[in-house]
Chains A and B, each alone.
Chain A
Amino acid sequence: MSVTEMFSNIQVFLCADQDIREDIRKVVQTLEQTAREILTVLQSVHQPSGFKEIPSKCLRARELFCIIRDHIGDLKTKFPVEQYYRFHEHWRFVLQRVTFLAAFVVYLESESLVTREEVAQILGIEVDREKGFHLDVEDYLAGVLIMASELSRLAVNSVTAGDYSRPLRISNFINELDSGFRLLNLKNDPLRKRYDGLKYDVKKIEEVVYDLSIRGLTKEQEAVTDK
């Protein structure tokens, strides 16, 4: 085979590769758009009035997740399924975002940590690599860490809105999360960097809890709940 032939073969390959990337980018853009919409819906829980509306907001977000499922279904058709990691970088960021959103919704609903299986189910994807388009464990963990910083914000705002018991529950939850992450042996990668931020979220929430307890605001709340 001549050198020219060799190179034109490779050129054909590279062009096909670029076309796939182009297609993926388009779908990922719409995915990001919907993710932003969900975020906007959920952001309103930080408003003083938003605390009463949490269930309805979550319902609205759940509806929007249907659109996300459609987008991801579309994305799956754009490339051969066994080449997931070849194009992983294109949707890695947005997948972490939507994982965060799913985790946040589940937390607001049930105050528990979403499992990887649940996220996969909400997004209409798989957990195992063998079964198709899946949720990488690192992306799941990154999404959970984004939620941690969102919760530290929520703790502050719930005090402003007069809900003194929520920060305590968030504090317990984040502490549990922190001890979970401590089990992991992280390499020096983006996930590790993000995990390093978790301690500031923990600190922030502890400060809120401290402020409440020295003013006796937590006891008052406990007394109310005990009755």
Chain B
Amino acid sequence: MNAKDGGSRKRKQDSAQSQKTEGHESDDISSCPLISAFKTFQLELDTKHDKYERLVKISRDITIESKRTIFLLHRVTSVPSTEELLTESEVKLDGVRQKIRQVAEELRGEDLYQFHRAFTLGIQEYVEAVSFQHFIKHRSLISLEEVNCRLVFLNGDKSEEKGIPSEKQGPQALTFQVTPTDYLLGVADLTGELMRMCISSVGNGDIDTPFQVGQFLRQIHDGFSYIGNTGPYEVSKKLHTLKQSLGKVEDACYTLRVRGSEMPKHMLADVFSSRAALLDPEDGVA
């Protein structure tokens, strides 16, 4: 990847140089201050675009790894011991955090918001994964502070490849701050995962989880309605999906209650496995 970058940069310089010589042959245009000014602009823009591209690549990796972690965590409903799964997910999330560290390194001394669009999707996906894991562990919502706490990178650890420049910086820690908006959007995505988890846990005969998820989702929904339109546009868009997820979970809880009173527990599982199949095609939106 790096070699490629270097190659393209070299090519750019080459073309710039050839243009320069051409200019010299025809007339003295290239020596004028205007052209040299544009040369510096070229350099500045190229540096910026390169950085942006690098961030987009890292962001993609973050998204993919987070998605895999979420899939892994979904197996929690069908596995007897959750411990093993949780440690495995922790390892994966550590990998993601190393990627976020790269983002933080790219952004050192830069304005976070200048490149925000490059990595916002990855960060949202990470928030989704980390909050999903937190819910499975503690049945509560991870706070923004807790998310940010995990994204403080001390200079010493695991940075062998970039050891020399970071040592010069001294013991200063590198932090990455998730913006409240990204956090909010990540949490909104989390609700879709919770809905899936709720439905699949019923399918496995777990009667408690759906009610816990239902209550939790209601809290989140209340929170989002409290924010309502004051938030950015994307938030209000996600509110709609959230409502759908909540509806599905509430329906599931309702059926559980009604059927549960008249049917032996082992048969409920059958009712829901067919129900989940019905619901699944719709949650492509979530």
* Chain A interface residues (CB < 8 Å from chain B): 1-4, 6-11, 13-15, 18, 82-86, 88, 113, 115-116, 129, 137-138, 141, 176-177, 179-187
A137 touches B45 (CB 8 A): yes
A137 touches B180 (CB 8 A): no
A14 touches B180 (CB 8 A): yes
The reply on B255 being an interface residue by CB < 8 A is no
- Determine the distance from Cα of A85 to Cα of B220 in the docked complex, in whole angstroms: 30
The reply on B184 being an interface residue by CB < 8 A is yes
B49 touches A187 (CB 8 A): yes
A184 touches B41 (CB 8 A): yes
B230 touches A18 (CB 8 A): yes
- Determine the distance from Cα of A76 to Cα of B103 in the docked complex, in whole angstroms: 28
A10-B144, A13-B180 given. 15 additional CB < 8 A pairs? A1-B143, A3-B222, A4-B226, A7-B222, A14-B180, A14-B227, A15-B230, A84-B114, A137-B44, A179-B19, A179-B29, A179-B35, A182-B19, A183-B39, A187-B49
Q: List 5 A-B contacts (CB under 8 A).
A: A3-B141, A4-B226, A8-B226, A113-B37, A181-B38
CB distance from B94 to the nearest CB of A (A): 24
With A3-B141, A179-B29 already in contact, the answer to whether A129 and B111 are too (CB < 8 A) is yes
CB distance from A144 to the nearest CB of B (A): 10
Closest to A129 in B: B111
B219 touches A3 (CB 8 A): yes
Which residues of chain B come closer than 8 Å to A180, judged between CB atoms? 34-35, 37-38
The reply on B170 being an interface residue by CB < 8 A is no
B226 touches A11 (CB 8 A): yes
Which residues of chain A come closer than 8 Å to B38, judged between CB atoms? 180-181, 183-184
Interface of A is mostly: helix
With A85-B111, A88-B113 already in contact, the answer to whether A185 and B46 are too (CB < 8 A) is yes
Chain A CB within 10 Å, residue with most, of B38, B39, B113: B38
Which residues of chain A come closer than 8 Å to B184, judged between CB atoms? 10
B35 touches A4 (CB 8 A): no
Number of B positions contacting A (CB below 8 A) = 41
Partner of B35, one of A7, A129, A183, A185: A183
Which residues of chain A come closer than 8 Å to B163, judged between CB atoms? none
Which residues of chain B come closer than 8 Å to A137, judged between CB atoms? 41, 44-45
The reply on B12 being an interface residue by CB < 8 A is yes
Which residues of chain A come closer than 8 Å to B220, judged between CB atoms? 3
Chain B CB within 10 Å, residue with most, of A2, A86, A177, A184: A184
B45 touches A186 (CB 8 A): yes
Closest to B32 in A: A176
A11 touches B230 (CB 8 A): yes
A7 touches B223 (CB 8 A): yes
- Determine the distance from Cα of A86 to Cα of B34 in the docked complex, in whole angstroms: 31
Closest to A86 in B: B113
A183 touches B42 (CB 8 A): yes
Closest to A113 in B: B34
- Determine the distance from Cα of A118 to Cα of B110 in the docked complex, in whole angstroms: 24
Which residues of chain A come closer than 8 Å to B223, judged between CB atoms? 3-4, 6-7
Closest to B223 in A: A7
The reply on B119 being an interface residue by CB < 8 A is no
Partner of B49, one of A84, A88, A129, A185: A185
Closest to B181 in A: A14
Q: Mark B23-48, 1 if CB is under 8 A from A, else 0.
A: 10000010011110111011011100
B34 touches A6 (CB 8 A): no
A179 touches B23 (CB 8 A): yes
- Determine the distance from Cα of A183 to Cα of B34 in the docked complex, in whole angstroms: 11
- Determine the distance from Cα of A4 to Cα of B128 in the docked complex, in whole angstroms: 18
- Determine the distance from Cα of A140 to Cα of B143 in the docked complex, in whole angstroms: 41
Which residues of chain B come closer than 8 Å to A176, judged between CB atoms? 29, 32, 34-35
CB interface residues, B 1-35, toward A, < 8 Å: 12, 16, 19, 23, 29, 32-35
Closest 7 CB pairs of A and B: A7-B223, A180-B38, A85-B113, A85-B114, A86-B113, A3-B219, A85-B111
Which residues of chain B come closer than 8 Å to A184, judged between CB atoms? 38, 41-42, 45
Q: Mark B49-61, 1 if CB is under 8 A from A, else 0.
A: 1000000000000
- Determine the distance from Cα of A10 to Cα of B46 in the docked complex, in whole angstroms: 36
The reply on B183 being an interface residue by CB < 8 A is yes
The reply on B153 being an interface residue by CB < 8 A is no
- Determine the distance from Cα of A182 to Cα of B232 in the docked complex, in whole angstroms: 38
